[in-house]
Amino acid sequence: MSAIADSETLFAELRTPFDDADALLEADRCLECGGLDAPAPCAAACPAGVDVPRFVAQIAAGDPEAAAGTILAENLLGGTCARVCPVEVLCQGACILTHERRPPIEIGALQRYATDRAFERATVTRTAEPPNGRRVAVIGAGPAGLVCAGELAARGYAVTVYDERAEIGGLVRYAIAPYRQSREPLPRERELFEQLGVEFRLGEPIATHEALAALEAEADAIFLGIGMGADLALDLPGQELPGVWESLPFIEALKTGEAPAVGSRVVVIGGGNTAVDVAREAVRLGADVVALLYRRTEEEMPAYPHEVAEARAEGVRVVRLTAPVRFLGDEALTGVECVAMRLGARDASGRRRPEPIAGSEHVVAADTAVVAVGQRPRHGLLSLIEGLDLDDGRLVVDPQSGRTGNPKYFAAGDAVSGGSTVIAAVRGAKLAARGIDAWLEATR
């Protein structure tokens, strides 16, 4: 099946959005639990602090635009998060209805419904305070950078966001599977940030001493939302063969309209959420056999269990206790030589260390192999900034303010966490915005 013939399937969204009737019926199921003394479990489980019962009640009352206002008051990327948040383990997973053996409220779908309606009707607003005369530079237009910029602009700061890419969104735009989110609603969310006064300087990397010095001279504070770097490499023989991909270029090719022809047999190496996304997209690209190889057991996979179950239901084979040792082929990939593993003593992470079983080598036939075992930290820019503290490549910050070891720099997102969810980046960016505001107020 060609990429062109499969384009509708490739970009078909995982979940169909609600229409007006569906949204009203779903919102009416909410018990509106919680109160001043004890917030509702769904609200307590939201890292961004969104008042979930309130916006659901506003939808039930027939006012999705008011619901969008409630959402965006706490999460300026509410439209994006409605699509990519792991609601099954956050707000939705905490829904009290599950204790009554009833389906939880579909909070993610309701959040998307509200924000989509507000964007469609051009009623999305967030009030900004008058200019306060202070300037903040934000490096990185991913989720953390966007939210920090928007929160500061709403407080009256002049904020400029720099990014090497031509479009905003970071990993959301270029590294999240298209069946979750292709491009929308990022362009409309950009309009919201611009309404708040955020200036974007896209296609303009900050990568030299001179560029950084110029930024430091004009900005009162700088926020680092640079995310993580390229894929971690396995450094296996044959990795240069056509048909062998790293996960980030593979997903970016899908999202920029250059979907590769994967053939009939695809092997995905890794056990995280990105590996699962790649495997599910390979199914959508028309592969007959998709095998997800993981060197530990399925119980130890870092991917969300419900995502693994959905992948298996779509036809992905999860091959546990298996590790690749080389990629095979002459002019193109034909297979992946693997070895069976067993679990030994526990390592520093607390998990049992996988060990190869001698004589267990075998070949898994493959036309395409995608390596999805994590990302490297970004060292280039960080090496230019004095006073930063790093822990295994990750930026060390004060957890309540996002402040780094250099008092002028703050940070949040994957550069700090080492790789987490979009909603975790939103939370960290909000804390950093408050930290920047408090520091600049104290030094005024």
> Strands 265-269 and 289-293: what pairing?
parallel
Burial of residue 177 (number of CB atoms within 10 Å: 0-12, 13-18, 19+): buried
Provide the pLDDT for residue 1.
Answer: 37
User: Do residues 390 and 351 both lie within one domain?
Assistant: no
Provide the pLDDT for residue 88.
Answer: 94
User: Do residues 142 and 184 both lie within one domain?
Assistant: yes
Among candidates 71, 52, 59, which has minimal Cα distance to 24? 59
Characterise 390 by phi-psi region: left (phi > 0), alpha (psi -120 to 50), beta (else).
beta
Domain boundary among 344, 371, 398: 371
Are the beta carbons of 372 and 275 closer than 8 angstroms?
Answer: yes
Q: Do the domain assignments include residue 1? A: no
Q: Do the domain assignments include residue 7? A: no
Domain boundary among 59, 89, 120: 120
Are the beta carbons of 261 and 2 closer than 8 angstroms?
Answer: yes
pTM for the structure as a whole: 0.94
Angle between helices 64-74 and 107-120 (to 10 degrees): 110
Provide the pLDDT for residue 5.
Answer: 38
Domain boundary among 371, 394, 427: 371
- Number of separate domains in the chain: 3
> Strands 352-356 and 333-346: what pairing?
antiparallel
User: Do residues 396 and 304 both lie within one domain?
Assistant: no
The CATH code of the domain that includes 414 is 3.50.50.60
User: Do residues 225 and 252 both lie within one domain?
Assistant: no
Are the beta carbons of 16 and 187 closer than 8 angstroms?
Answer: no
Provide the pLDDT for residue 8.
Answer: 62
Question: pLDDT for 52-62, tens place per residue?
Answer: 999 999 999 99
Cα within 13 Å of Cα(205), Cβ side: 8
Among candidates 324, 295, 296, which has minimal Cα distance to 237? 324
Among candidates 75, 90, 87, which has minimal Cα distance to 14? 87
Q: Do the domain assignments include residue 237? A: no
Q: Do the domain assignments include residue 361? A: yes
Provide the pLDDT for residue 182.
Answer: 84
Provide the pLDDT for residue 51.
Answer: 96
* Amino acid identity for residue 401 in this structure: S
Q: Do the domain assignments include residue 2? A: no
Q: What contacts 208, CB < 8 A, 6 or more positions away? A: 384
Biggest CA–CA distance in the chain, Å, is 71
CA distances from 374 to 88, 181, 230, 323, 361 (A): 23, 20, 9, 15, 25
Structure tokens at 129: 């305070």
Q: Do the domain assignments include residue 234? A: no
Among candidates 183, 18, 236, which has minimal Cα distance to 115? 18
Query: Domain range spanning residue 201?
Result: 135-229+376-442
User: Do residues 352 and 403 both lie within one domain?
Assistant: no
The list of the chain residues with pLDDT below 50 reads 1-5
